[in-house]
Amino acid sequence: MNTPPPLPPLAEKEQLLHPWSWLFVLLAQLRQFLFPLVALVIFGQRSAGREDSYQMVTMVIVAAVLVASALLRYFTYRYAIGADRVSVRSGLLARNRREIPFARIHNVAVQQNLLHRLFGVAEIRLESAGSKHPEAEMRVLRLDQALALEQLVRQHGRSPSPPQADPADSGGNDGPASATAGSQLLLALRALDLVRLGLVSNRGMVVVAAAIGAVFQLVPREVVGDLIKAHARQAMGMANGAALSTTSAILLAVLSLVLVLLMTRLLSVALAFVQYHRFVLSRADGRLTVERGLFSRSRSSVGQRRIQAWSLHQGLLQRWLRVQQLKVDIAAGNAEDNNSRNLRELAPIASQQQCTQLIQTLAPELAWPPSQWQPVAPRQAWRLCLPALLLWQPLLITALWQLAGSWALLCLCWLPVTVWRAWRSVGFMGYHVDAHAVMVRGGWWQRWWRMAQTAKVQGLRLRRSPLDRLCGTASLLLDTAGSSMGGPRLQLALLPVAQAQQLLEQLSARISRPRVASSADAAAPVTQVPADLQPT
């Protein structure tokens, strides 16, 4: 993606999207019906005569309706660039008009896949705070037009927001995109980093599991059952013919399992290259921008002031390789969006030193890492064993009793591991609270750290379950504007009641203080619309 040209005078005349826009809308609609159509064509009940003709006619009618819908969307979709807003008009019978002020747009996401590159176009989405869907989605514009609109919206977004508005809900503090000549490079992933990312992730296993689930959903059960039985008979025949001993059979099964795990890891590495090829994190004028992708290039950015919380994740393999993953929560968006509309991964994989430097550079108020962690009482470890002791182990023993009888009691051998894991988890748990930030950590196999500035906390909650009341403990939950994004919660758990109430009062007093406007919120000069965005 190239840097847009300079910005000439504004024009507010409505204009159409790219002439090939209808084609990309049609392809997006067809993706929703891809699997049902494939299943209907390949595995549907085929019969000669009139019923077969009806089926073909139905498919042709559906295709014609989709094409007509795409063309209708192209001819009824208009957009205009004003002095301080973007206007979008769409619809024929039910007409909609959206006025999107530049100051409310928190992100301009530009995406290009292989087909976009072939046609020299790009898809652009305008996203605002607190919305689960894009305010405007333009499929598609010429690449230079998309980049120019991206620059225009972001430069207008530097204008100040009203004094009473919360920074998490306004776009007034955001600067221009970091994909400019003056941007600061913060992180760039190399090929070796992508290999490590694939090795420590489970993306390949997830894809394989999803493929197996899709096969069971699309292919008739009789076909799948016959296929499994045929391969099982073939494997048993080969094993009997080779006259393998018990030791050899076990060794062969272990080698097969290792081979499957190796193949899934190689698939994970390939997926990491596809998703994070040429990953670049940069900063310019208070905005963070991430650009990545091999076949489909995407660029997304967010203002630093919109970051509500920071999370570090480190699994067992990541600890061995001494790497971590850095994520952020943004005060907008939908966690269930599989297209990753919002920038969340600042560092999919980076060394511990790099992650520490990123946090120190981007959020110096956090003073990361803290000088001391407040631990949790080790005697609370037994509470982490309760789910295994009272729930899943009894259920597992009951389920296996029907198959293995008294051998199912061997599951009790896992109890020492459960107790040891709970003890190690409590030993790692801790929190740190100071005048500017709140930090918690937890986990053992999968370790995590979560932190947020006190000024970003939107609400506090003191929670006591029946077990807490019995043990004299409580949990203090802190909510931020991006707390619905998933992942570990910002929660101080297993605290004595008096200590939890004291922290509640202290934090309540801190977050109740009025925010002071920053001197950096100066009005930006009026920018102009690029020539490529003006109607001809």
Cα–Cα distance between 506 and 498 in angstroms, integer? 12
Residues 6+ away with beta carbon under 8 Å from 420: none
Cα–Cα distance between 58 and 248 in angstroms, integer? 56
Structure tokens at 19: 């002439």
The closest alpha carbon to 323, from 463, 175, 190, 196, belongs to 196
| 304 pLDDT tier (thresholds 50, 70, 90) | confident
- Pair (212, 248) in one structural domain: yes
- Pair (168, 57) in one structural domain: yes
Q: b/e for 200-239, b at 16 or more Cβ within 10 A?
A: bbebbbeebeeeeeeeeeeeeeeeeeeeeeeeeeeeeeee
- Pair (45, 82) in one structural domain: yes
Tell me if 2 sits within 8 A of 74, measured CB to CB: no
Cα–Cα distance between 137 and 133 in angstroms, integer? 9
- Pair (208, 179) in one structural domain: no
Position 512 scores a pLDDT of 76
Position 2 scores a pLDDT of 55
- Pair (165, 207) in one structural domain: no
Structure tokens at 494: 């297993």
- pLDDT tens figures, 195-243: 999 999 888 888 888 777 777 766 666 776 777 777 667 766 666 666 6
Domain that holds residue 115: 21-184
Higher model confidence: residue 325 or residue 58?
A: 325
Identify whether 304 is part of a domain.
Answer: no
- pLDDT at position 455 over 70: yes
Q: How many helices (H) and strands (E) does the chain have?
A: 16, 20
Tell me if 285 sits within 8 A of 176, measured CB to CB: yes
- pLDDT at position 327 over 60: yes
Max avg pLDDT among 87-96, 182-191, 507-516: 182-191
**Number of neighbouring beta carbons within 10 Å of residue 24:** 21
**Minimum mean pLDDT range among 42-56, 268-282, 308-322:** 42-56
- pLDDT at position 370 over 90: yes
Structure tokens at 458: 């939107």
Cα–Cα distance between 309 and 305 in angstroms, integer? 11
Identify whether 218 is part of a domain.
Answer: yes
Position 10 scores a pLDDT of 45
- Pair (155, 222) in one structural domain: no
Cα–Cα distance between 127 and 125 in angstroms, integer? 6
Mean pLDDT of 297-326: 89
Position 241 scores a pLDDT of 66
- Pair (95, 242) in one structural domain: no
Structure tokens at 215: 């096969």
- Pair (214, 166) in one structural domain: no
- Cβ burial, residue 301 (10 Å; 0-12/13-18/19+): buried
| 169 pLDDT tier (thresholds 50, 70, 90) | very low
Identify whether 291 is part of a domain.
Answer: no
Position 206 scores a pLDDT of 83
Could you say which of 369, 396, 425 is where a domain stops?
425
Number of folded domains that form the chain: 3
- Pair (124, 267) in one structural domain: no
Taking the C-alpha atoms of 372, 378, 380 and 382 in order, what is their torsion angle to the nearest 10 degrees? 140
Tell me if 372 sits within 8 A of 433, measured CB to CB: no
Tell me if 281 sits within 8 A of 328, measured CB to CB: no
- Pair (207, 114) in one structural domain: no
Identify whether 351 is part of a domain.
Answer: no
Could you say which of 275, 305, 331 is where a domain stops?
275
- Pair (134, 253) in one structural domain: no
Position 138 scores a pLDDT of 86
Structure tokens at 152: 């225009």
The closest alpha carbon to 118, from 51, 20, 194, belongs to 20
- pLDDT at position 354 over 70: yes
Q: With residue 98 as reference, give the H or E element that holds it.
A: strand 96-101
- pLDDT at position 427 over 50: yes
- pLDDT tens figures, 488-529: 788 999 999 999 999 999 998 888 776 554 433 433 344 444
Alpha helices (H) along 85-177: 114-119, 143-156
- Pair (26, 167) in one structural domain: yes
Tell me if 315 sits within 8 A of 246, measured CB to CB: no
Instruction: Give the chain's mean pLDDT.
Output: 78
- pLDDT tens figures, 121-141: 988 888 776 566 778 888 888
Identify whether 70 is part of a domain.
Answer: yes
Position 244 scores a pLDDT of 64
The closest alpha carbon to 146, from 24, 17, 22, belongs to 17
Identify whether 30 is part of a domain.
Answer: yes
Position 357 scores a pLDDT of 94
Position 433 scores a pLDDT of 92
Mean pLDDT of 434-446: 91
- pLDDT above 90 as % of the chain: 25
Could you say which of 275, 310, 328 is where a domain stops?
275
| 411 pLDDT tier (thresholds 50, 70, 90) | confident
Task: Please identify which residue in the block is written with the tokens 């190796």.
Answer: 262
Identify whether 106 is part of a domain.
Answer: yes
Q: What are phi and psi of 283, to 5 degrees?
A: -140, 140
Alpha helices (H) along 92-242: 114-119, 143-156, 191-200, 203-218, 221-242
Identify whether 267 is part of a domain.
Answer: yes
Position 418 scores a pLDDT of 86
